[in-house]
Amino acid sequence: ELLQQVGPRLHAQLRESDTVARLGGDEFAVVLPTAGDEAGAVNAAGRLLAALQEPFAIESQRLQIGGSIGIAISPEHGTDPATLMRRADIAMYVAKQNRVGHAVYSPEQDRHSPGRMALAGELREAIRAGQLVLHYQPQIDVRTRSLAGVEALVRWDHPRHGLMPPDEFMSLAEESGLIGQLGEWTIREALAEAHVWRAKGTQVPVAVNLSMRNLQDPELPNLVARLLEEARAAPQELKVEITETELMADPELAVAVTRRMRAMGVMLSIDDFGIGYSSLAHIRELPVNEVKIDRSFIAGLGDSAEVNPIVQSTIDLGHNLGLVVVAEGAETQAAWDTLVELECDVIQGYLLSRPVPARQLARWVAASPWAAGTPATA
Ligand code: C2E
Ligand code: CA
Ligand code: CA
């Protein structure tokens, strides 16, 4: 509703010849063919920001929002759309960082903190240009010793920096407003891959990680429904992992969103459980299917005779609430054995396999004693 109100407000500040478009998430682009020079563009930016500052009325609530605007000017900053978009993006990032409302692109910004700035601009293109890849890590059902599911983990195959792990660009994606597009890409890609596996006889849910920013998007359930339909996938083939910390950051929103997703039939998992100090009462309210014990608790498991009480109590708690309990980060046989003893349901970790490209996972499934639906005899 807010986005629907923002559009017309921006539009009202523009001329007939100007264009305003929503790029996705909470990002808009404005093209001003007759702004003339930098002063004209800055002037327009000021008007747009002022228009956003007026409170919005959403369901009888007054909502105060702000915006950050990045300005790129043609021909000074580029003559093709891609370059102009990238540079406007860098400028927007500067505006956001410095909390100044708007900023005009300057090459110094690129130089200022070259790595990060340039990356922010490159990430948008990366999504479009297919530089993002998903690696998949298998999860094994302890009881049946068969494949229980796979987790999709994103990497950026950067032309100069090589394969970048998510920790190096995820916060960038959040800050630059690209997390929505990234989430959409991840779900679409993971479902497409699940479709390939299904055709080959491996039918397990694929888990994707979403951040709270994704869940805050009121369009998310509709988007997920559309992507499921696109991939001809059943809702239970998709699992969404959300960290306990993020769920606890806004408990009310967490309940609302998880209920909506769950009502659609999508599977839900609480990720990194044990470090967020959630209250038992609250976990009860969330209609999730599983908890994943944070890997920091699993790493050293079995090294000493004493079992971390968090692991034991999370498994018991999970079972009492009727949830599947997953342990991630199992690196050793000792950890595996301890988890089996504690009656953990599902195990994931380097011991079994690192996250690998889809094709490699298919080989792993074929070669290992674990196979979907066919319990190993070993
Ligand atoms: P996570 O969801 O907790 O993912 C598990 C991480 O643990 C992965 O790191 C995986 O490679 C690593 N891991 C798995 N088994 C072991 C093990 O036995 N030992 C050790 N030491 N580590 C293990 P990765 O792929 O670097 O991902 C890091 C984080 O990035 C993820 O943590 C997740 O929070 C985030 N992330 C990954 N993909 C996405 C995505 O598509 N969207 C969002 N929003 N976040 C993502
Ligand atoms: Ca995860
Ligand atoms: Ca985790």
Model pLDDT for residues 145-191, shown as the tens digit of each residue = 999 999 999 999 988 778 988 988 898 898 778 999 999 999 999 99
- Contact indicator for 88, 105 with CB cutoff of 8 Å: yes
Tell me the best of 153, 179, 297 to mutate to test the pocket of ligand 1, counting ligand atoms within 8 Å of each CB and taking the most: 153
Alpha-carbon distances, residue 230 vs 19, 188, 192, 220, 346 (angstroms): 30, 8, 9, 15, 29
DSSP per residue over 225-272, as a string?
A: HHHHHHTT--GGGEEEEEEHHHHHHSHHHHHHHHHHHHHTT-EEEEEE
pLDDT in tens, 50-85: 999 889 998 888 888 889 999 999 999 888 887 788
User: Is the model more confident about 29 or about 110?
Assistant: 29
Which residues contact ligand 1 via a Cβ below 6 A?
Answer: 137, 153-154, 165-167, 170, 186, 208-211, 241, 271-272, 295, 328-331, 349-350, 355
Buried b (16+ CB within 10 A) or exposed e, 256-279: ebbebbbeeebbbbbbbbbebebe
How is 172-229 classified by DSSP, letter by letter? HHHHTT-HHHHHHHHHHHHHHHHHHHHHTT----EEEE--HHHHH-TTHHHHHHHHHH
Give the residue whose CA is nearest to atom 35 of ligand 1: 166
pLDDT exceeds 60 at position 372: no
pLDDT of 34 = 83
Q: Could you tell which of 127, 186, 295, 336 is best to mutate to test the pocket of ligand 1, judged by most ligand atoms within 8 Å of the CB? A: 295
Burial class, 312, CB count within 10 angstroms (exposed 0-12 / middle 13-18 / buried 19+): middle
Q: How far is the CA of 316 from the centre of ligand 3 (A)?
A: 19
pLDDT given for residue 371 in this prediction: 57
Dihedral sign from CA coordinates of 290, 293, 295, 300: negative
- Return d(Cα 290, Cα 314) in angstroms, integer: 11
Residue 331 CA: nearest ligand 1 atom is: 18
Is residue 19 scored above 60 in pLDDT?
yes
Give the distance, in angstroms, between the CA of residue 129 and the centroid of all CA atoms in the same chain.
Answer: 18
Ligand 1 atom at minimum distance from 294 CA: 3
Mean pLDDT over all residues of the chain? Answer: 89
Residue 244 Rama label (left phi>0; alpha psi -120 to 50; beta): alpha
Residue 375 has pLDDT above 50, yes or no: no
pLDDT value for 125: 87
Residue nearest to atom 17 of ligand 1 (CA): 329
Cα-Cα-Cα-Cα torsion 203, 238, 311, 370, nearest 10 degrees, comes to: 10
Mean pLDDT of 92-101: 82
State what percent of residues in the chain have pLDDT above 70.
Answer: 94
Place of tokens 């990032």: 93
Q: Can you give the pLDDT at residue 368?
A: 80
Average pLDDT over residues 291-310: 86
